[in-house]
Structure formats: structure tokens, C-alpha cells
Amino acid sequence: MPDIAFWNQCNNRCVMCTNEDAFARHDPSLYGLKSQVGKLERYLGGQGGVYFKNDDKPGFVSLTGGEPTLHPDFFRLLAYFRRRLPGAGITLLSNGRTFADGAFTKRFLKIAAPPFSVAVPLHAASAALHDKVAGVKGAFGQTMAGLENLFAGGGAVGLEIRLVLHRLNIKALPKILACLLEKFPDTARYRVTAIHYEIEGMSLKNHRRLALRLKESASALGGALPLIKKFKDLRLYHFPRCAVRRELRPLCRVTLPPEDRVYTAKCAGCAARRGCLGLMAEYYKAFGDGELRRL
Ligand code: SF4
């Protein structure tokens, strides 16, 4: 099932956001309750091409934005998606700030019946850096408070904390992992995903500030291995297997559709190709395949 753009407005201005800035200028009625219901009913009725991304993938839905929790009919629409997609895994991608409101979180947890998870990006272990990446002062405090409220929900929904790695925050990786271990020590209760940033939308526009090669992020991951081992479920997205240390290869996942990935001549005959993401197509355009090596 598809990625569904739940709402196009956001209260963060993340430097590495993959949305174009024009997305926020779309007519909000395109994402209103009536429009969303019409789209999902057409999709469930078998009409193809309703959603832009992963329209043909069965079994799960990602509710994305903008920031979905800012939708003026958030709870009604969430209840509708849950009711009309029984049994489908739903992941809500959120900057987590709205969940700083405890009453909002309690109401959300009553509606978000399993299988349901919330994925929240954490950009740093300090307000100064997180807010710099998020583009909003105070974002860090609200996101951390939101995570605490979601954790206090006692496992009603799955939790995933996303670390999108780029030039601005790569050096902070060990601090972020240590911060998570300190604040949320029961690592069986959540998943961490470390993601090499995508070069798309605002991230492409801001690429001079963000540019980071895989070998640099892989090196930071390798250096953080003792911390990484302390997490029960830590996954790596957007990394080719040959770019990371042997011990980290089992953590690599293929999460992008084939059209967004590239295998180059260096991959021919590679023993690790099955289950390897290859290179992100936009990464290959920007940096080439010099970091790949056949395994
Ligand atoms: S050479 Fe290609 S297939 Fe092999 S691990 Fe690297 S990216 Fe993957």
C-alpha cells in the first residue's frame, strides 16, 4: 500500500526534508477530509495511480506530510483510515511535537489500534543542533516531550526513532545514541533506524550544507558500534552492504522501490547483492559509485 500525503503543512522546516517547498503551497483542500476519503475509496475500489509513491505495494500504509498531526480533521481521518484498512500496518511519520500535548496523545492512542506505529526523527542530542536542523527554536524540547508521552502509552503503538544522517549531524551520532540509551533505556520498546539522507526536495536545494558521502556516515556508524550493539532493534536504511563494516551488514534493509536504486557494474557477481539496496539513484548522480566494492 502507498505513502499517503496526509497533510501538506508543517511546523518544522527541516533542512533535509525530501518535500519540495512548493508542496506546502498546494491548496490544503487537496488534503482535506473529503478529498482524502475520496482518494482512499478510489484506491480500495481498485483504481491505480491514486497515490504517487508505492501505489502498488500491498500490506502497509505510511501516513506522511507535512506534519500529519496538524491536519484540522486529524482524529476523524485517522479513525477512518484505521477502520477502512483493518489489519494493514499503518506508520504515521511525525516530527513528534504535537505529542508533547498529553491530552492529544491519549486521544491518539485510543484511535491508533494495532498494527500501528509512529516514526519520529531525532536530529541531535541537544536543542541547539536539533533546532538548527529542524529550523524551529523549541522543536527539540517538544519532540522529546512527545516521545516521552508516546512511551508513557505503554506500548499501545510501535515506536520508531529515525536518525537521518547528513553533514550537519553526523558527528553527533554517538551523542544521539547515548542520549536515547539514557532517556529510553528499555530498547526492546522501540526501534531505531539510522538513515543516510536522501537528495531530493529541500535536501537537494540545501545540498551544499548537507553533502555527506556514504563512507563518512558508514565510518561514524562503525565508530559507534559499541553503542549500536546496545539497541535490540537498530536498522540501517539507504546503505549498500559493502559500504559498512561486516558486523553492520545484517542491519541493512532495502526500503526504497527499484526505480529509486542503482546497481552499477561493480555489483556484477557480488555475493551480497541479494538483500542489498545498491546505491540511491540520486546519490549515484551526485557522487558516483567509487565507494562500492564487490563482496
Ligand atoms: S557491490 Fe553492489 S551489490 Fe555488492 S554490496 Fe556493494 S552495492 Fe551491494
Of ligand 1's listed atoms, the one at least distance from the Cα of 266 is: 1
CB 65 within 8 A of CB 8: yes
Within a domain: residue 77?
yes
Q: Which of 236, 276, 284, 293 to mutate to test the pocket of ligand 1 (most atoms within 8 A of CB)?
A: 276
31: containing domain: 3-237
User: Residue 72 domain-assigned?
Assistant: yes
Residue 7 domain-assigned?
yes
End-to-end CA distance of the chain: 33
Q: Residue 277 CA: which ligand 1 atom is closest?
A: 8
| Residue 25 within any structural domain of the chain | yes
DSSP state of 16: T
Q: Which atom of ligand 1 is nearest to the CA of 289?
A: 7
Q: How far is the CA of 194 from the centre of ligand 1 (A)?
A: 19
Assigned C-alpha cell, 222: 562503525
Specify the residue with its C-alpha closest to ligand 1, atom 7: 278
Atom number in ligand 1 closest to CA 271: 4
Domain membership flag for residue 124: yes
Task: State the Cα angle at 180 between 112 and 231, rounded to 5°.
Answer: 85
Residue 285 inside a domain? The answer is: no
Domains of the chain: total: 1
Amino acid at 214: L
pLDDT for 48 equals 75
Residue closest by Cα to atom 6 of ligand 1: 242
Ligand 1, CB cutoff 6 Å, lining residues: 240-242, 263, 266-267, 270, 272-273, 276, 278, 292, 294-295
Residue 276 inside a domain? The answer is: no
What pLDDT is recorded for position 54?
A: 60
Which of 196, 236, 242, 245 best tests ligand 1's pocket when mutated (most atoms within 8 Å of CB)?
242
239 CA distance to ligand 1 middle (Å): 10
Shortest-distance atom of ligand 1 to CA 243: 6
Please report, for the domain that includes residue 185, its CATH number: 3.20.20.70
Contact criterion met (CB below 8 Å) for 206 and 163: no
CA distance 100 to 160: 16
pLDDT in tens, 233-281: 999 999 999 999 999 999 999 999 899 999 999 999 999 999 999 999 9
pLDDT at 56: 60
The closest-lying atom of ligand 1 relative to the alpha carbon of residue 240 is 7
Averaged pLDDT in 10-residue chunks for the chain of 295 residues = 90 97 93 95 85 66 95 98 94 98 97 96 98 98 98 92 98 98 97 98 98 98 98 98 98 94 97 96 98 97
> What pLDDT is attached to residue 57?
61
The model's pLDDT over 58-84, given as tens digits with 9 standing for 90+, comes to 568 999 999 999 999 999 999 999 999
Dist. CA 248 → ligand 1 center (Å): 14
Model pTM score: 0.95
